[in-house]
Amino acid sequence: MIEIIDLHKSFNGHEVLKGVNLTIADKEVIAIIGKSGCGKSVLVKHIIGLLRPDSGKILIDSMDITRFSGKELDKIRENLGVLFQGGALFDSLSVFENIAFPLKEKTSMSKKEVHDRVIRSLEDVGLKGIENKYPAELSGGMRKRVALARALITAPNIILFDEPSTGLDPVILHAIHKLIMDTHKKYGFTGIVISHEIPEIFDVADRIAMMHNGIIEEVGTPNEIRNSSNPFVRQFITGSLEGPIDIF
Amino acid sequence: MGQLEKILRKLGSFALLRVRRMGHLFLFLLNSIYLIFIPPFKFKALLRQIIFFGNKSLVVILLTGAFAGMVLAIQLFYTLRKFGSDALLGPAIALTLIRELGPVLSALMVTGRAGSALTAEIGIMRITEQIDALTAMGLNPIRYLITPNIVAAIIVFPILAAIFDLTGIYSGYVIAINLLGMSEGTYFSQMETFVDMEDIMQGFYKSVSFGVIVSWISCYKGYHTVYGAEGVSRSTTEAVVMSSVLILVWDYFLGSMFL
């Protein structure tokens, strides 16, 4: 279980997180929605340990990771997979080397085992036979799928998806969402998905957390969010220009 | 708050910011050097970076080394002839190149060629979250990206400086024989007498320290790139300017120490 308790973070005097509270159950997929710049990616970076909060706690299996550093944090990260917004594939490595990278660096698996797992992982994301290509030769959707294969390769307990479908056409967007659902069913990880894709994300997540102005405005099932009377939530999911959310 | 207090506060915070940045810069170097001695060692990455520095810089080193030697031959011949010592042209070129120009000019060339490319490459890795991806995997990016570059530069810089020196000495020889009418024997015979191991070692120490400076600054600027493509461009410019200035400043200090 992940518990985020009263998390605060400022950059150069500008408070981005103003007391975030959120509990994420094991094996659930939660989507964090909210307008650009509301602090979603900053929150994710705190969960990975890339940023330290000014105050507050992040408990992963009851361990406060905000107090961890170095090897303790690396240990936590071994159970964590991240799909970054642009994929963050290593340009100088082939698709095979990219996916195999965490296995080669963090485990003592034989070459054959690594090879088999990479091929199986590529099959899982529907990209069999592209292992010798380089990231520059792939389309945006393929990169995201390769990045997902890399995030899944170590079978982590938690996977963070930072805008996994942003910038993709509707068909690929649905393909990526289906892939998240299929792999979740197969591997049973806890998923945290940052997304702007309304209403498509309602089909992917078990729960939705709406973030606004540095706090979690509302959390609920997709149906509860759809029927919410909270004016912030209503404006965001309908995409209306009228309402309490500042457009600029 | 009085005007004086305002000015003092601004000066104080400016000074504090500079000191903090310098501390950050030095900690970055210390951390990178510390990881040289802590396994697992990244030999493959080291080899790749040795090839990167060599491959990027060899042609430019050969070219600038050749012309530096030719210019030195003409200018030193003119000066030495005034003192009636034109027979010492060979050792004069060799000493100038080995002690000073070889390490400095080759380091400046590598800065422009490979140092800038290194900053841009690491900067792009930063803005495309590749460095964050390494951290998120529980791997230390300094070990994978920075330490191999520093070790590679320590190995490659003296080799490139030696190539620069040799090219310069031989191109000076060509000019001395064909253009200035010196005899073949005179050019090299005095070299053995006047060039000591101490001179060669001075050039060696200089190029090793320049290797550390260039790789350190280039990596640091790339690693701390922010704000997209414009940030990469700014980091690259800053890395080249800062490395070049530091090479010349450090060259002066080392030169004074070796006197």
Which of B128-151 are b and which e, b meaning 16 or more Cβ less than 10 Å from the residue's Cβ? Answer: bbbbbbbbbbbbbbbbbbbbbbbb
**Cβ of residue B125 closer than 8 Å to a chain A Cβ:** yes
pLDDT at site A188: 92
Indicate the SS3 state at residue B259.
coil
Does the pLDDT value for residue B1 go beyond 70?
no
Give A-chain residues touching B142 at CB under 8 angstroms.
none
pLDDT at site B252: 95
User: Token digits for B132?
Assistant: 């964050």
- DSSP string of chain A? -EEEEEEEEEETTEEEEEEEEEEE-TT-EEEEE--TTSSHHHHHHHHHTSS--SEEEEEETTEEGGG--HHHHHHHHTTEEEE-TT----TTS-HHHHHHHHHHHH----HHHHHHHHHHHHHHTT-TT-TT--GGGS-HHHHHHHHHHHHHTT--SEEEEESTTTT--HHHHHHHHHHHHHHHHHH--EEEEE---TTGGGGT-SEEEEEETTEEEEEE-HHHHHT---HHHHHHHHT-SSSSS---
**Cβ of residue A102 closer than 8 Å to a chain B Cβ:** yes
Give A-chain residues touching B124 at CB under 8 angstroms.
91
**Cβ of residue A78 closer than 8 Å to a chain B Cβ:** yes
Across the range B46-73, mean pLDDT stands at: 95
**Cβ of residue A88 closer than 8 Å to a chain B Cβ:** yes
CA dist., res. B101 & res. B144, Å (int): 33
> Cβ B129–A90 below 8 Å, yes or no?
no
**Cβ of residue B237 closer than 8 Å to a chain A Cβ:** no
In one-letter notation, the amino acid at residue A159 is I
Does the pLDDT value for residue B212 go beyond 70?
yes
Enter the pTM of the model. Answer: 0.90
pLDDT at site B257: 87
Give tens-digit pLDDT for B91-144: 999 999 999 999 999 999 999 999 999 999 999 999 999 999 999 999 999 999
Mean pLDDT of chain B: 94
CA dist., res. A102 & res. B7, Å (int): 52
**Cβ of residue B128 closer than 8 Å to a chain A Cβ:** yes
- CA-based nearest residue in chain B for residue A75: B138
pLDDT at site B128: 94
pLDDT at site A101: 95
Across the range B71-83, mean pLDDT stands at: 94
Task: Give A80→chain B minimum CA distance, Å.
Answer: 8
In one-letter notation, the amino acid at residue A22 is L
Instruction: Kindly indicate the confidence band of residue B82, based on its pLDDT and cuts at 50, 70 and 90.
Output: very high
Least trusted range by pLDDT, from B111-120, B186-195, B197-206: B186-195
Please state the separation of Cα A32 from the chain's center in Å.
Answer: 9
**Chosen from A41, A47, A65, A74 to mutate, greatest number of chain B CBs within 10 A:** A74
Across the range B15-27, mean pLDDT stands at: 95
pLDDT at site A172: 82
Asked if omega into B40 is within 30° of 0 (cis), the reply is: yes
pLDDT at site A248: 64
CA dist., res. B48 & res. B149, Å (int): 9
Q: Taking chain A (248 residues) in consecutive chunks of 10 residues, what is each chunk's mean pLDDT?
A: 95 92 96 90 92 95 90 89 92 95 92 94 89 93 91 92 85 87 92 90 94 93 93 89 78
Give tens-digit pLDDT for B36-49: 999 888 899 999 99
